[in-house]
Amino acid sequence: MGLFAAFLLLTAGVQPASVEGQWLTEDRKGVVQIAPCGGQMCGRIARVLDRGPGVPATDINNPEPKLRGQPILGLLTLWGFRRVGAMWKDGRAYDPKSGRSYRATLGLNPDGTLKLTGCVLFICQSQRWTRVR
C-alpha cells in the first residue's frame, strides 16, 4: 500500500514536457525564447547568431511598412499557441526573412527536439529546433 501511494504522489502532477525555453532554429541563425504570454505560448527572437553585412537588424521584410523599423532582437515570431494534449495548436509563426506568417503547431519529438509546423492552405512544412541548454 505504501509503495502504491508513493507512485500516485509521484505521477499525479506529471505533465507532458513543455515547449517553454530557448530553441536554436533549424538554420542555426537564431535562438527563440518560448514562454507563456497570457494563457498561451509565444516566442521571441532572443539571439541573432547570423553575422555579416547583409544581416538586417530590423524587420525590413514586414508587409506593414510602419513595422519595418522594429528590431529583430525581441521580435515576436510565435504567438497564440494553446495546449491540446501533448501539442500546442492554433498558433501563428512569423518568418522575418520572408515577412510572411503561417498557421502553426508546436510539438516535442521523442528525442526532445521541437517540431514547428507551418501551413498555408493545405501545404505544410516542418522544422526541427534544438533546445539550448
* Within a domain: 41: yes
* Within a domain: 7: no
Could you tell me the residue range of the domain that residue 54 belongs to?
Answer: 17-131
* Within a domain: 126: yes
CA 66 to CA 60: how far, in whole Å?
Answer: 10
Q: Which residues touch 54 (CB under 8 Å, ≥6 apart)? A: none
- Tens-digit pLDDT string for the chain (133 aa): 444 443 333 344 444 578 999 999 999 999 999 999 998 999 999 999 988 888 899 999 999 999 999 999 999 999 999 999 999 999 999 999 999 999 999 999 999 999 999 999 889 999 999 999 8
Q: pLDDT tens digit string along 79-89?
A: 999 999 999 99
What is the 3-class SS of 53-106, one letter each residue? Answer: CCCCCECCCCCCHHHCCCECCCCEEEEEEEEECCEEEEEEEEECCCCEEEEEEE
What CATH number is given to the structural domain containing 81?
2.40.128.520
Q: How far is CA 113 from CA 3, 74, 102, 130, in A?
A: 34, 22, 20, 5
Q: Which residues touch 24 (CB under 8 Å, ≥6 apart)? A: 30, 31, 49, 129, 130, 131, 132
3-state helix, strand, coil in the chain (%, to 5): 10, 50, 40
* Within a domain: 60: yes
Number of structural domains found in the chain: 1
Q: pLDDT tens digit string along 76-112?
A: 999 999 999 999 999 999 999 999 999 999 999 999 9
* Within a domain: 2: no
* Within a domain: 40: yes
* Within a domain: 5: no
- Prediction pTM value: 0.84
